[in-house]
Structure 1
């Protein structure tokens, strides 16, 4: 090479040709290895992708099926509890109406109590021997006690009904709350069931697996709660129905008992009126007999006094005869049969006079006794008439307790007169 020819060369070390071939082999070797690895990775990726697609599809299907089953189960429980809630609402309304009817019965009982107390007060105004503990008095007090006991029973039942309503309201609140929760749960599950990959409002929720709610419960606990709530509602409905029927039966029995006692009391009052009227008639008959006897005894006393007056004149005449014969003279002043007869007559007249005076005194005493008896009879008649008026007034006062029309008569007094067959003794009002 000529001296003037120049060459240029990088200032780097050069390799030899064998090294160059060696490097080419190594690169080819590395390329083959990486291609094999890439092919394996690609095949593995396809396999994993297919498996995961299938797994994801089946997981989504299973979870959708689970959501459908869960929605169906929740809907079934919601329908069951909703039906129980409707029955509970109906039962609450019926129990509230029964309670209001019981309270109305309590208010209505005040009228019979007032009337019976008034009747007892009226009958306590009887006078003298007519103020007795008779059957009517006993029946009135029994009726008063019976109605007071019924009022107390009604009051206790109304209080128990109020407590039962509170229990039902509590169960109603629990059912309503549970139904609202189930409606919200069904809405959420249906939204999740309708969700797909193209839905909006989707984002990563990084803490869904790591964060759990403290009030979360298991499925078994949830199912047990639903069953216990259903059993509670059924039990409360059954208890409320039994309690309401018991209230209705109690009211009917109380009405029947009160009506029976009222009839018994009215019967004893009518019976007492009949007995009083009969006794009054007897006393009037006795009064007539006493008055007649007094009249006859008065006439007899007058006759006895006349007889006594006549005997006094006869005594004067006989004694005058004896006095005149005492002035006879001499031997003519003797005790002859005439003198003996006159003396005997004087003695007989004096004895007769004494007997008449004694009889007159006894007759006057008897007349006074009859007069006192007549006064007692008049007072007794007045008491019996007052007692009769009192019992009739009681019946008239109790007439407001009878709501049904039992007779075409104008009032209860006339009806009682007819029932006791006393039309001739107590004339009906015109």
Structure 2
């Protein structure tokens, strides 16, 4: 009993097999001899020495305790070593996987960065081409001011035609068509120019979004490339305890790729719209320049025909004027001859009347109505009648002469008006129209 009280060590660990422990059982004997320390009076107290069995029991207990402690320590070392190896392997696998993921991410970023860069290059080139088309439109619009000025000046010049020459002929109708055509073309070019400016603005907006996305991806690529180069031997690594949390405004890989895809899609859409607009601009400039030149040719042809008509009419009028002048000269000679004929009848009239007057003084029965008397009376009547006929014819000739003079004046006025018309159409209008722009200028190339 006393031995059990003195030795209070923990039992052997259960993990140690029972077979490995010594199979010795030591029991503390209950001494009843003179050296015995048992008894009620000595309960709880020891004598100066332990019993041999107690010493042996204490030794065995220490052996058991040392063996168990070593076993636990060895197992703990083995587990710690195995855990450290597993943690090291897992850390290396995690780091390798993270590096691999960074490499894959770099490939994705590089792909979208390349796509964005390609689209930026294409949009920039397309915008430059559209700017050239815009400049062509502006030059073509500026070039239409010259034809409009020429047509307006032609109409104003032709308002200075005089008399019956102020007529709405084919040339004027073609000029009016040309003015309306130029106004319509100017309105079309202005609308197209405004549409081109809007498209350029949309191209630049799309390019700006692409450049911002590209810049972000360049920065992200550099960061991920820098992160991918970090290793355990890097000197610029340190602890960042709060870096492992996810931000609220982060995107997902799907939304990240969708963002770049939408930017590229929008840029491609604007680029295709720009290409279609450039094609439309080319067609518009080609059609408008052809229409203007065609109408210019129509006006020039109308002017040429009108000048030929006026020239032909002027030649005919000049021919009639020459004939009229000849007739006036002949009529003046006729009037002079009639006047001379009337004057020439004065002498025969005087002779006949003098004869009648002298014979009226015949005496008595000699005052006879003889054949001479009748003939003299008849002669006076004939002369008087002839004189009346001549005066009537003279009056008619003078009327004809006045009519011829009026005709001459009218012909000369018509000839002058036609000469003025020819001067306006040929010297003013047609000469001015030689400054009409060519096809290249009307198309905006100059």
Q: TM-score range by the shorter chain?
A: 0.7 to 0.9
**2:360 matched residue in structure 1:** 326
Instruction: Indicate the residue corresponding to 1:340 in structure 2.
Output: 374
1:125 to 128, 138, 160: 160
2 CA distance for matches of 1:233 and 1:24?
Answer: 82
Check if 1:381 corresponds to 2:367: no
Over 3 Å counting, the alpha-carbon distance change for 1:355 and 1:214 in structure 2 is farther
Deviations 1:191-226 (Å, cap 9, x if unpaired)? 22111122233333332344x434322222112111
Where does residue 113 of structure 1 map in the other structure?
148
> Alpha carbons of 1:16 and 1:170: their partners in 2 closer, same or farther (altered >3 Å)?
same
8 Å CA contact retained: 1:115, 1:397: no
Q: Distance in 1 between matches of 2:321 and 2:339?
A: 26
TM-fit CA distance, 1:32: 6.8
In structure 2, C-alpha distance between the alignment counterparts of 1:22 and 1:146, rounded to whole Å: 124
1:21-420 pair list within 5 angstroms = 21-23=7-9, 44-210=79-245, 212-394=246-428, 397-398=431-432, 400-401=434-435
Cα shift readout 1:370-391 (whole Å, capped 9, x = no counterpart): 0111111111111111211222
How far is the alpha carbon of 1:158 from its aligned partner? 2.2
In the alignment, the residues of structure 1 paired with residue 66 and residue 357 of structure 2 have an alpha-carbon distance, to the nearest angstrom, of 205
Segment of structure 1 superposing worse, 196-205 or 351-360: 196-205
Q: Secondary structure at the match of 1:154?
A: helix
TM-score, reference length from structure 1: 0.82
Classify 1:80/1:327 alpha carbon distance in 2 versus 1 (closer, same or farther; 3 Å): same
Q: Equivalents in 2 of 1:375, 1:265: separation in Å?
A: 33
C-alpha displacement at 1:110, in angstroms? 2.4
Structure 1 distance, partners of 2:420, 2:436, is 25
What does residue 4 of structure 1 align with? none
Asked if the contact 2:352–2:376 (Cα under 8 Å) also holds between the matched residues in 1, the reply is yes
Between the two proteins, the alignment pairs up a number of residues equal to 389
Q: Say whether the 8 Å CA contact 2:150–2:433 is kept in structure 1.
A: no
Q: Secondary structure at the match of 2:262?
A: helix
Is 1:266–1:395's contact at 8 Å kept on the other side of the alignment?
no
Structure possessing the higher radius of gyration over alpha carbons: 2
- Deviation per CA, 1:327-347, whole angstroms, max 9, x where unpaired? 333344343433333333333
Structure 1 residues not aligned, in runs of 5+? 1-14, 405-430
Secondary structure at the aligned position of 2:243 is classed as coil
Distance, in Å, in 2 between the alignment partners of 1:54 and 1:146 is 84
8 Å CA contact 2:342–2:390 kept in 1: the answer is yes
- Mean alpha-carbon deviation: is it higher for 196-205 or for 131-140? 196-205
